[in-house]
Amino acid sequence: MGQSNINKGDLLRIIVAKYGVVIALGIVIALFGIITPNFMSVGNFTNILRSISVITVLSLGLTVALAAGAFNLAVTGIAGFAGALSAGLMVWNQLSAITSSVIALIVGMLMGAAIGLFVIYFRVDDLLASLGAMYIAQGMTLTYTGGLNIYSNMIKPSPGGGFTTAPGRISDGFIFMGQGMVGVIPMPVIIMFIVIVLVHIFLNNTKWGRNIYSVGSNPEAAYLAGIPVNGYKIFAYSLSGILAAFAGILLVARLGSAQIAESQALLLDCVAASYIGFSFLGQGKPNAFGTFIGAALMGIMVNGLSMLGVSYTTQDIFKGIILLLSLAISRLSQK
């Protein structure tokens, strides 16, 4: 219908709706580039990418659930437990890095699936159900670790008094995943991009992705078109669990130990990154590259502000502003 006579105001609105987040990213980079002398360096950008690698993977876990119209606040909880489990299996049970990781991923998947089953079977609100699951996962982490961080040959009080030294180590290969470099590029950055691309392809180019998006877009219409909606919700929750668990494992690899409280702090950033991503290219729905842009925007803000000497307590104000702006932008794209 009459696309030729789009006026100037409409055009501006369309541009903002489509490229708003990208433009915001450009402005933020330019601003910091001008005010902060060391900001525009390859080293600093590598730093930023490394700093957002875990949160991007974690946010992708949330994104996949959101794509199916399902909220999963338990991603950080699952990440925490899966991370601790992978470290614990290596350190206490002397399992190999691969075996430990696979077990942790499977446990993450099962936790995700359990949330999905619960939400569907009892028809409860998914946001609150996953909040409950987050508490359970956090409690499981604390119970499993006894409240201690897990590191190679750690020492822990024995139940009978005295101390026990753990027999195993977090293997070097495992730590390479989080700390290694390939040329000038950090390993976790490479892993992050691989996960982004895989999630993107999965959501956009496979029949499962289409069906997940359909379920998220209008579950009733999807059901009446013969799509097994409940199955796809559980599927999406399971994938969300796997990605969250993987983020948890990656975090352990980055830190060289399982810091039990580390992943909990990421929850709100993760929600923000996914939602900022909605407006990427005017898609108006959860998507992999958008989530990355969202995480990058937050990461760059934190990095630039830190370089300017703004304390991290104040930084949250800026994060909040960015989230609010991007929500407004994604609203534009839906008009």
Partner 1 sequence: MDRFVLVTKKLSKRFPGVQALKDIDMEIRGGEIHSLVGANGAGKSTFAKIISGVYKDYEGEIFINGEKVVLDTPQKSFQYGISVVYQEVDSALIHYFTVAENLLMSSVTQYGSFVSQKKLVKIAKEKLKSLGLKLPFDLNTRVSELSVSQKQLLLIFKSLIHNSRLIIFDEPTSSLGPVEVEQLFEIIHSLKERGIAVLYISHRMPEIFTISDKITVFRDGRKIGTFPRDEVTPDDIIRYMIGKSSQKIEISSKEMSNTPILEIHRKSDESQKLVLYKGEVLGLTGLVGAGKTELLKEIYTGSKDLKVALDGKEVRIKTSTDAVKMGIYFLPEERRKEGLLIKENLIWNMLLPSFGDFANALGFMKDKEAAQVSKRFAEKLRVKFADLRQRVESLSGGNQQKLIIARWLIKNELKGARVILFDEPTVGIDVGAKEEIYNIVRTVAESGIGVIFSSSDIDEVLKVADRIVVMRDNKFIAEIERKDFSEEKILSLAAGRHEIVKN
**Binding interface with partner 1 (CB under 8 A):** 1-3, 5-7, 10, 13, 205-208, 210-211, 213-214, 217-218, 220-228, 284-285, 334
Closest approach of partner 1 to the CB of residue 181, in Å: 33
- Lookup: tokens for 21: 């987040």
CA distance 297 to 281: 15
Question: How many angstroms from the chain centroid is the CA of residue 240?
Answer: 9
| 214 vs 303 by CB, closer to partner 1 | 214
Closest approach of partner 1 to the CB of residue 286, in Å: 12
Question: Please, what is the angle between helix 229-255 and helix 42-67, to 10°?
Answer: 150
| 18 vs 285 by CB, closer to partner 1 | 285
| 3 vs 38 by CB, closer to partner 1 | 3
| 306 vs 334 by CB, closer to partner 1 | 334
At position 66, the amino acid (one-letter code) is: L
CA distance 54 to 52: 6
Closest approach of partner 1 to the CB of residue 97, in Å: 29
| 189 vs 236 by CB, closer to partner 1 | 236
Closest approach of partner 1 to the CB of residue 322, in Å: 24
CA distance 150 to 257: 6
Closest approach of partner 1 to the CB of residue 203, in Å: 11
Closest approach of partner 1 to the CB of residue 301, in Å: 29
| 214 vs 274 by CB, closer to partner 1 | 214
CA distance 108 to 145: 17
User: Which of 273, 264, 207 lies closest to 53, judged by CA?
Assistant: 273
| 127 vs 210 by CB, closer to partner 1 | 210
Sign, CA dihedral 150-155-160-161, equals negative
CA distance 288 to 202: 10
CA distance 243 to 226: 28
User: Which of 291, 308, 293 lies closest to 33, judged by CA?
Assistant: 308
Beta bridge partners of 20: none
Closest approach of partner 1 to the CB of residue 68, in Å: 13
